[in-house]
Structure formats: C-alpha cells, structure tokens
A and B are shown apart, each in its own frame.
Chain A
Amino acid sequence: MPDRPFELHDLRRILRESAGIDESADLGGETLDTEFDALGIDSVALMETASRISREHGVQLDDEELTTSTTARRLMEMVNERRR
C-alpha cells in the first residue's frame, strides 16, 4: 500500500482500468468537479473503481458515498480523509 496521498494520477489510472476512461482525458480543471455521471462513469464502473481503491489503498467507501453524482475531487478527498 503506497505511503503517500491518493493523487490525481492514481485516480486517472484507476478510472482508465476500471471505467475505461481515456487516461489522456484531462481530469484536472473543471472536470475535477464534474459529476461522474456526466463523465460517462456509471454505477458499476464506480463500484469497480471503489474496489480497486480499496485493494490498493486500503480504504473502504460506503454505498452512500459511492454515487454517480460524486466528483473526482470529492472522491480523492474521501480517500485521503480515510487514510489519515
């Protein structure tokens, strides 16, 4: 388990593997605050994302937190809050 914060490049890679989001797509800027739904990330893709985050970073996310109305920024915050 990496001993460093969960960063944007981690999320980008996981989203590529688990949701098929093109890694070259810029998740920075405005899209950091775009809801996953609008980025084409559906509920199963989000479950798969959460499962990878859990395996790689030891963080369990609750059902209630895992909605497609979440954003990349919020997801990273949640993961890093849990890691503390």
Chain B
Amino acid sequence: MSAAAPVVTGIGIAAPNGLGTARYWTATRAGESGIGPVTRFDAARYPSRLAGEVPGFDAADHLPTRLLPQTDHMTRLALVAAEEALADAAVDPAEPGEPGSGDLDDPGARGVVTASSAGGFEFGQRELEMLWSRGSEHVSAYQSFAWFYAVNTGQISIRHGLKGPGGVLVTDQAGGLDAIAEARRQLRRRSRLIVSGGVDGAICPWGWAAQLTGGRLCTGDDPATAYLPFDERAAGHVPAEGGAILVLEDAAAARSRAAPRVYGEIAGYAAGFDPRPGTGRGPTLRRVIESALRDAAMRPADIGAVFADAAAVPGLDGEETAAIAAVFGERAVPVTAPKTMLGRMYAGAAALDVATALLTIRDGIIPPTINVRPARRHPIDIVLGAPRPAPVRAAAVIARGHGGFNSVLVVRAAGTAPPGPGTEPARGTHHARQAV
C-alpha cells in the first residue's frame, strides 16, 4: 500500500524448455528450443503439428491425488508454478505471518490475479464428448468449474489460503501483463501480496480446431523453421503451454518480512486497443509503449532490453518493430523473443516474458531469439542466436492479443527508480485516505 513500485519476490515457471525456474533459465540462456511434434494427441491430420509442450510433466509427481480429477492440464501446471513461486519467496500463506509483520497476519491481505485465455479447454473437450456421445449424465461434476476462465485463480487461492482479492483478466496474449498490472493495482489498494501471472495451454484437438480458425498458426514439421518472427519467412506461430506465476509484494511489506530476494520492481504499465480495421486510424502500440515509460518515469534510453510480442505475422511484426524503432530509435535497444524457443502460450506468454526479463536483469544476460534471420525492413537490433551479456537495469515487455489488445510492462532492478513524481501512482483515492 506504499507509493513505491511493487516488487517481485518469487518466480515459478512451467515452460516447454524446462519445468521450474532453474531449468528454464539454463535452457533459455543456452538458446535451447522446447518446440517439437505434438505428443498430447495425434496431430497428423491437422495442418499444424508442432507445439511447445512442458516436458516430462506428470501431475501426480507434483500435486495431491485429490486435485487430479478436478483439474485441467493447464491448471495443474499453474498450481505447480504457483507453489514454486511462493516457495521461492519463502512465503507460506497458510501459516500466520511473523510477529510484527502487521497485515501479513491477515490472509485477506494476500490475493491472486491471473490471466486466462480459453480456460481448461482440454477438460472441456472431454466433457463435451461425454455429453454428446454418451449423454448428459456422463458429464463430470467438476465441469462446473474445471474449464472456466477463473479456475486457476480459484484453485491457487484455495491451495495457499489466499483470501484477498481474486482477479482474472482475459485479453488473449496480452493477459499476462494485464494480470500483473491488476495485481499492482490491488497492492496500491489494500493488499500486501498478490500471486499473479498466467499459465495457459489448449493442446488438444478441439483447441487446435479453434486456434486454426484464428489464422495465425504456422504449418510444417521442422521446429527450426516453424515460428520465425521478424523473418521474411514468418508465417504464423507454434502454440504452446506453460507460463509463469510471480509473487508480487508491496515494497515495504517485502522489506518488513525480510523477503529473501527481490528480483526487481514493476515500474510501469500501459494498455491500449487498436481501432477497428477499416476506420483509418493507426495502431496504438507506439503510444502504449510511451505511456508505460511515462508511468515508470523513465526515458527510452533507460531500457536495456525489449521482450517482443513476436507474432510472426508479417503485418503485426511490422507494426511492432515500427513502434519499437519509433520509441527507442532504430536499432538502439536490444530486442529479443525467447518465445522462438517456446512457442506462444497465450495468457501465459507475457507473464513468462516478465519473469525472463527479471532474470535478465539479475544475471546481465539477454537470452537469444533463435532460428530467425531478420528481414531488413525491421529496423531493430535482435539478439540473435546466442545470449548477449549486457548490464540491463530495466526492460520492457510487449504483449499483443488477438482482436486489438496491446499491453506494455516495464520492470527494473529494485531501488533504481529515477527521482521524480512518476514513481507515485496517479491520483489514488486510497493513498489520500492513508495519509489521513
């Protein structure tokens, strides 16, 4: 509830190139791809046959058996990531807080905000199949919640005793950032700690049919030439599962409980929506990047790395690189897309990019964009092929959702906020009240 930017004190990751933050980060720094042929169903009959699947994930190894009948695959991944994040932050919300930690004793000061795109779609397919092939009495009682968009927030809240606000944002691929921004909003209101981010995935035939109609999936069987943002060969993306869950805390609350580590702070954010095609108005991404920087009270030159949305759709790639170049200058900031190792994980993607940006800041290594030969028309400096050592104090993450959603989030090393009024949240009712 203090005016300072909230801090990230815990990270949990489920990604196609590694389950768990340590494995993911080792693989990602090394440019190891997690994209391969779909194994979760027989994709031979579909034009898209590659996916980013979290390897070697057996839910029974990680979760109590009683959670298995009631959870979709993506919820299981989310629960595992949330557990890792809370353990990383050394928070056990089910336990009372340390003496003197004030509101941390109140479980209502801790909440959950996650992003979702299609909910537990694989669970939904199974129950739809039961309904139409066998009859309504065969539909699971758990269908009443296992597929819906709010399921991950609810399950994480229940598992970890988080009784504060619970939020769920659905903005397609932009959702991961919008959820973290909503978490920041809650930390400015009443909360001390919010578990936030997104873990997603719909790697099932029914999800495939739906994603194919979106018109943005690539075809082909070679993981090395499938998902190629900013490349002349760009022809869509590989769908993936996974994402990241973060522990966000009010900076003062994290200090007072002596949180073991602070990865960085959520310095700025903005969201904007592209006008309807055909109205003659231009895209909004440039304005959104500028607004996020203004919200962070930072200049373009303060940003050491940009994590791109990387749609791999030529028009969208062009819009993105034009906006980056307009704000930061041509080839003036390193731009990367670790998604090229992972595929696009919808509501999980941008949350994972935020985690990756924080690890980049921590270790001074920008992970690479793999497989891509950038087209000349993109005036940006892409970190290609190998990781690039660089002291990064702040990074911007761009996320764009199907239908017009644009969000940008700025993270920076803790305690490096530039002086100025921008670090104060704008006109918040609750700060005024706190001062009374």
Is the beta-carbon distance between A54 and B65 smaller than 8 angstroms?
Answer: no
Tell which of B66, B68, B138, B144 touches A40, judged by Cβ atoms closer than 8 Å: B66
Contact indicator per residue, chain B 122-153, by CB within 8 Å of chain A (1) or not (0): 00000000000000011011101000000000
Q: How many pairs of A and B residues are in contact by the CB < 8 Å rule? A: 37
Is the beta-carbon distance between A51 and B64 smaller than 8 angstroms?
Answer: no
Q: Is A48 an interface residue (CB 8 A)?
A: yes
Q: Is A18 an interface residue (CB 8 A)?
A: yes
Identity of the chain B residue whose Cβ is nearest the Cβ of A46 in the assembled complex: B141
Q: Is A45 an interface residue (CB 8 A)?
A: yes
Selecting from A3-11, A19-27, A71-79, the interface stretch reads A19-27
Q: Shortest distance in angstroms between A4's beta carbon and chain B's nearest beta carbon?
A: 22
Is the beta-carbon distance between B140 and A48 smaller than 8 angstroms?
Answer: yes
Residues of A within 8 A of B138 (CB): 55
Q: Is A47 an interface residue (CB 8 A)?
A: yes
CA distance A57 to B66 in the complex (A): 23
Number of residues in B with C-beta < 8 Å to the partner?
13
Majority secondary structure of chain A interface residues (helix, strand, loop or mixed): helix
- Considering only residues 44-88 of chain B, those with a C-beta below 8 Å from chain A are 64-70
Residues of A within 8 A of B142 (CB): 44, 48
Q: Shortest distance in angstroms between B68's beta carbon and chain A's nearest beta carbon?
A: 5
Q: Is A35 an interface residue (CB 8 A)?
A: no
Is the beta-carbon distance between A20 and B69 smaller than 8 angstroms?
Answer: yes
Residues of A within 8 A of B137 (CB): 51, 54-55
Interface residues on A, range: 10 to 19
CA distance A10 to B68 in the complex (A): 19
Is the beta-carbon distance between A20 and B141 smaller than 8 angstroms?
Answer: no
Residues of A within 8 A of B144 (CB): 44
Identity of the chain B residue whose Cβ is nearest the Cβ of A16 in the assembled complex: B65
Is the beta-carbon distance between B141 and A19 smaller than 8 angstroms?
Answer: no
CA distance A5 to B378 in the complex (A): 72
Is the beta-carbon distance between A20 and B64 smaller than 8 angstroms?
Answer: yes
Q: Shortest distance in angstroms between A6's beta carbon and chain B's nearest beta carbon?
A: 18
Is the beta-carbon distance between B140 and A20 smaller than 8 angstroms?
Answer: no
CA distance A47 to B70 in the complex (A): 12
Is the beta-carbon distance between B66 and A21 smaller than 8 angstroms?
Answer: yes
Residues of A within 8 A of B140 (CB): 48, 51
- Considering only residues 28-84 of chain A, those with a C-beta below 8 Å from chain B are 40-41, 44-45, 47-48, 51, 54-55
Is the beta-carbon distance between B69 and A18 smaller than 8 angstroms?
Answer: yes
CA distance A20 to B138 in the complex (A): 18
- Known pairs A44-B141, A48-B140, A55-B138; A22 contacts B69 (CB<8 A): no
Is the beta-carbon distance between A22 and B65 smaller than 8 angstroms?
Answer: yes
Identity of the chain A residue whose Cβ is nearest the Cβ of B71 in the assembled complex: A20
Residues of B within 8 A of A18 (CB): 69, 141
Is the beta-carbon distance between B69 and A48 smaller than 8 angstroms?
Answer: yes
CA distance A48 to B69 in the complex (A): 10
Tell which of A21, A44, A55 touches B65, judged by Cβ atoms closer than 8 Å: A21
Q: Shortest distance in angstroms between B135's beta carbon and chain A's nearest beta carbon?
A: 9
Q: Shortest distance in angstroms between B304's beta carbon and chain A's nearest beta carbon?
A: 46
CA distance A10 to B182 in the complex (A): 47
Residues of A within 8 A of B65 (CB): 16, 20-22
Residues of B within 8 A of A17 (CB): 69
- Which of B64, B66, B140 has most chain A Cβ within 10 Å? B66
Identity of the chain A residue whose Cβ is nearest the Cβ of B137 in the assembled complex: A55
CA distance A48 to B137 in the complex (A): 10
CA distance A41 to B70 in the complex (A): 12
Identity of the chain A residue whose Cβ is nearest the Cβ of B134 in the assembled complex: A55
Residues of B within 8 A of A41 (CB): 66
Is the beta-carbon distance between B141 and A48 smaller than 8 angstroms?
Answer: yes
Residues of A within 8 A of B67 (CB): 20
Residues of B within 8 A of A21 (CB): 65-66
Residues of A within 8 A of B64 (CB): 20
Which B residues contact A (CB, under 8 angstroms)? 64-70, 137-138, 140-142, 144
Which A residues contact B (CB, under 8 angstroms)? 16-22, 40-41, 44-45, 47-48, 51, 54-55
Q: A19-B69, A20-B69 are in contact. List 8 more A-B contacts (CB 8 A).
A: A17-B69, A19-B66, A20-B66, A22-B65, A40-B66, A44-B141, A45-B70, A48-B140
Can you list 20 A-B pairs, Cβ within 8 angstroms, ordered by A? A17-B69, A19-B66, A19-B69, A20-B66, A20-B67, A20-B68, A20-B69, A21-B65, A21-B66, A40-B66, A41-B66, A44-B70, A44-B144, A45-B66, A45-B69, A47-B141, A48-B69, A48-B140, A51-B140, A54-B137
**Which 7 pairs, one residue from A and one from B, show the smallest C-beta to C-beta distance?**
A20-B66, A48-B141, A47-B141, A20-B65, A20-B68, A20-B69, A44-B141
